[in-house]
C-alpha cells in the first residue's frame, strides 16, 4: 500500500443535528471533532468528502425554552446556532454542509418523504397514552423511568402524562426487515456493545411510534392534517438528506440522494442510538431509500470520574477550554485519550500532563533538538540522502516502514486512539534513538556520514508522524512541515494529490533547506 487508502471512492459522514435548546457542550464538541478527524483523514488521501453537521430546531422543548427567555423560537434558534458555528470555527472543524431544520428547503424534503411513507400505508391516526419527557422529545416506557416518573437521562425532570391523538409510523411492520438487515450487515451498528443493545431492544418487539404532536406550533404542520405538527425526530433525521442538496438544487429527494447517499457513517452519542439504528432505517425502508452504511454510537464523557451536569456544577465549557489551551490540544486529548465507542473522562491535570508529555516533550522536542543539529552539522539543509541510503536494519526506518498499515487500518476503523498511540510510540523511539546514537559525539569523531544518516532518519520520522497526525492536530503538523521546508497547508481542503505518498517513510527530499527551530507546541500550565 503506497498511500493512505480508505475503502470507498467517496466518503460521507454526519454528526447528530444538535438540539438548540442551549449552547454547545463538550459532548457535542467531542462528536464533531471525531467526525472532523475522519473527514480530514479521507481528504488527505484525495477522497471526495461530504461532512454534514447542523442543528435540530423544532419541537416543544425549543418552544418552551424560547418562551422562558422571552424570545421567539426563531430568535432563540438563530442565537444558539451562531454559538455552534463559532465553536466549530474555533475547533478547526471543516464541515461541507451545515443544515438547519428551519431551512424552508428542508420542509420540501420532509413533505415528500412523509408522502412516500403515507402512500405505503405506514402512517395512521391513533391515540397516544404514556409518559412523555419533553427534554428527550420522547415517550418513555414505564420500565425506563426512575422513581417519581423521572427520566433516566434528565434525572431532575419528571415525565408528563399524555393522552392525545397522534399520527403513528408503523415501526412494527419493519421488525423482520430490520432483523434481516442487522444479520446480513454486521457492521451496520458499531461498536459491538451498541449493536447488542439494539438487537436486544428489537427482539423485545417493536411498537409503532408517534410522529406528530398537537398543541405545538413550532414545527412543520402535517401535510394531510395541519392541526398536527411533525414530531421533532421524524423531521430532524431527514436533515441528513436535505444537507446533501447543492445550493442550486431543486429540493427533491431524488436530487438530494443523487451523489452522496447513502451516508457512509452516522456518528452519534449512544443516547440517540435507538432513533438512528431502529427508527431511521425503518423510515428509509418505508420511503424506498437505501440505508446508511454504518451507525457508530460513541460513549459519554465524565469529568474527574463523575457524570457532568449543571446541577453538579462540573460541566466543561468547550469555549473556555479552547481559549485557554488551543484547538490542537483539545482535539488531541479527546481523540487520543478516549477510545471512540467507550465512555471517557476529562481531568484537567491529566489533560495538561498528556499534552506536555506527548506534544511538547516527545514530538516538539525531538524536532527542535534535531533541527538545531542540522543547522550546526549540515548547513541548515536535509542531509543529501534518500530513504534508500538508510540501512535496511535502521531502527527508525524499520518502524516507519511498518507504521502506515496499522495507522491506516486504525483510521478506517475509527480507532483513532490506536492510530495516535502507534504514531507516538515511534516518536518516542526517535528520542531514544538519538540519545543512544549520540550524533554530537560522532561529529566530534569526524564520522559525518553516520551523523547525516541519523539526522535524516529522525527528521523523516518526525515528518511522517506530523503527516499521520495531521487529521488530529493540523496546526502543529503545519508548523512541523514548515520547519522542515515544506509549504503544504493541512488546514486547506485542497491537499495536493501527490501528498498521499507522504504516508510512507522516506518522503523527505534530500538537500531541502529547513527553517530555524521553534517550539511547535508551547508547554501548558495548570491554572492557579
pLDDT 10s digits, 204-244? 999 999 999 888 889 999 999 999 999 878 999 999 999 99
Residue 432 CB contacts under 8 Å (≥ 6 apart), including other chains: none
| Rg, Å, the chain Cα set | 26
Looking at 2-124, list the stretches that DSSP marks H as alpha helix, in order from N- to C-terminal side: 26-44, 60-68, 73-90, 104-119
Helix, strand, coil percent values for the chain (each to nearest 5) = 50, 15, 35
Task: Report the alpha-carbon distance of residue 363 to residue 158 in Å, rounded.
Answer: 50
d(CA 251, CA 239): 12
For residue 231, what are the contacts with CB-CB under 8 A and spacing of at least 6?
Answer: 59, 137, 166, 210, 211, 212, 213, 219
Rounded to whole angstroms, the Cα distance separating 118 from 469 reads 48
**pLDDT tens over the chain, length 528 residues:** 334 444 448 999 999 999 998 899 999 999 999 999 999 999 998 899 999 999 999 988 899 899 999 999 999 999 999 999 999 999 999 999 999 999 999 999 999 999 999 999 999 999 888 888 877 777 788 888 888 888 887 777 888 888 889 999 999 999 999 999 999 999 999 999 999 999 999 999 999 999 998 888 899 999 999 999 998 789 999 999 999 999 999 999 999 999 999 999 999 999 999 999 999 999 999 999 999 999 999 999 988 888 876 666 778 899 999 999 999 999 999 999 999 999 999 999 999 999 999 999 999 999 999 999 999 999 999 999 999 999 999 999 999 999 999 999 999 999 999 999 999 999 999 999 999 999 999 999 999 999 999 999 999 999 999 999 999 999 999 999 999 999 889 998 777 656 778 999 999 999 999 999 999 999 999 887
- As separate numbers, helices (DSSP H) first and strands (DSSP E) second, the chain gives 21, 18
- Say how far apart CA 177 and CA 181 lie, in whole Å: 6
Assigned fold of 347-503: Isoleucyl-tRNA Synthetase; Domain 1 (1.10.730)
Return the C-alpha cell found at 453.
544518516
Q: Are 59 and 20 in contact (CB under 8 A)?
A: no
The model's pTM is 0.93
Amino acid at each position: 500500500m503506497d498511500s493512505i487508502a480508505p475503502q470507498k471512492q467517496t466518503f460521507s459522514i454526519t454528526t447528530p443535528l444538535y438540539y438548540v435548546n442551549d449552547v454547545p457542550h463538550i459532548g457535542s464538541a467531542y462528536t464533531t471533532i471525531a467526525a472532523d478527524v475522519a473527514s480530514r483523514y479521507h481528504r488527505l488521501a484525495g477522497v471526495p468528502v461530504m461532512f454534514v453537521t447542523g442543528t435540530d430546531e423544532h419541537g416543544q422543548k425549543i418552544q418552551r425554552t424560547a418562551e422562558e427567555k422571552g424570545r421567539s423560537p426563531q430568535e432563540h434558534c438563530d442565537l444558539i446556532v451562531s454559538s455552534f458555528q463559532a465553536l466549530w470555527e474555533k475547533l478547526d472543524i471543516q464541515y461541507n454542509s451545515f443544515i438547519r431544520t428551519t431551512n424552508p428547503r428542508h420542509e420540501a424534503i420532509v413533505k415528500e418523504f412523509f408522502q412516500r411513507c403515507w402512500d405505503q400505508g405506514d402512517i395512521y391516526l391513533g391515540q397516544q397514552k404514556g409518559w412523555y419527557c419533553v427534554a428527550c422529545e420522547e415517550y418513555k416506557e414505564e420500565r425506563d423511568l426512575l422513581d417519581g416518573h423521572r427520566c433516566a437521562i434528565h434525572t431532575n425532570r419528571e415525565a408528563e402524562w399524555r393522552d392525545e391523538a397522534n399520527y403513528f409510523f408503523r415501526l412494527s411492520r419493519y421488525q423482520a426487515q430490520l432483523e434481516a438487515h442487522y444479520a446480513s450487515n454486521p457492521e451496520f451498528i458499531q461498536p459491538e456493545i451498541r449493536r447488542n443493545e439494539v438487537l436486544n431492544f428489537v427482539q423485545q418487539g417493536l411498537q409503532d411510534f408517534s410522529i406528530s404532536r398537537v398543541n405545538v406550533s413550532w414545527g412543520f404542520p402535517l401535510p394531510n392534517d395541519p392541526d398536527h405538527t411533525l414530531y421533532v425526530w421524524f423531521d430532524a433525521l431527514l436533515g441528513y438528506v436535505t444537507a446533501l442538496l447543492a445550493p442550486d438544487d431543486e429540493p427533491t429527494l431524488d436530487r438530494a440522494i443523487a451523489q452522496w447517499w447513502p451516508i457512509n457513517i452516522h456518528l452519534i452519542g449512544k443516547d440517540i442510538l435507538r432513533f438512528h439504528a431502529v427508527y431511521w432505517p425503518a423510515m428509509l425502508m418505508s420511503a424506498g431509500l437505501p440505508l446508511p452504511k454504518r451507525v457508530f454510537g460513541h460513549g459519554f464523557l465524565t469529568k474527574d470520574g463523575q457524570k457532568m451536569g449543571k446541577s453538579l456544577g462540573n460541566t466543561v465549557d468547550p469555549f473556555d477550554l479552547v481559549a485557554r489551551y488551543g484547538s490542537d490540544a483539545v482535539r488531541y486529548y479527546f481523540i487520543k485519550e478516549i477510545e471512540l465507542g467507550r465512555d471517557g473522562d476529562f481531568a484537567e491535570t491529566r489533560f495538561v500532563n498528556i499534552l506536555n508529555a506527548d506534544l511538547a516533550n516527545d514530538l516538539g522536542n525531538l524536532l527542535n533538538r534535531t533541527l538545531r543539529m542540522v543547522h550546526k552539522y549540515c548547513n541548515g539543509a536535509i542531509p543529501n540522502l534518500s530513504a534508500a541510503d538508510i540501512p535496511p536494519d535502521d531502527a527508525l526506518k524499520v518502524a516507519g516502514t511498518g507504521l502506515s498499515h496499522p495507522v491506516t487500518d486504525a483510521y478506517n476503523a475509527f480507532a483513532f486512539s490506536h492510530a495516535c498511540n502507534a504514531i507516538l510510540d515511534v516518536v518516542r523511539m526517535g528520542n531514544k534513538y538519538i540519545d543512544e546514537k549520540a550524533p554530537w559525539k560522532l561529529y566530534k569523531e569526524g564520522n559525518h556520514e553516520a551523523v547525516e544518516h541519523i539526522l535524516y532518519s529522525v527528521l523523516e520520522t518526525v515528518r511522517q508522524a506530523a503527516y499521520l497526525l495531521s487529521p488530529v492536530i493540523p496546526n502543529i503538523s503545519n508548523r512541523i512541515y514548515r520547519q522542515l521546508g515544506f509549504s503544504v497547508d493541512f488546514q486547506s481542503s485542497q491537499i495536493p494529490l501527490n501528498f498521499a505518498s507522504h504516508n510512507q517513510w522516506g518522503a523527505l527530499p534530500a538537500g531541502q533547506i529547513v527553517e530555524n527551530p521553534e517550539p511547535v507546541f508551547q508547554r501548558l500550565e495548570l491554572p492557579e
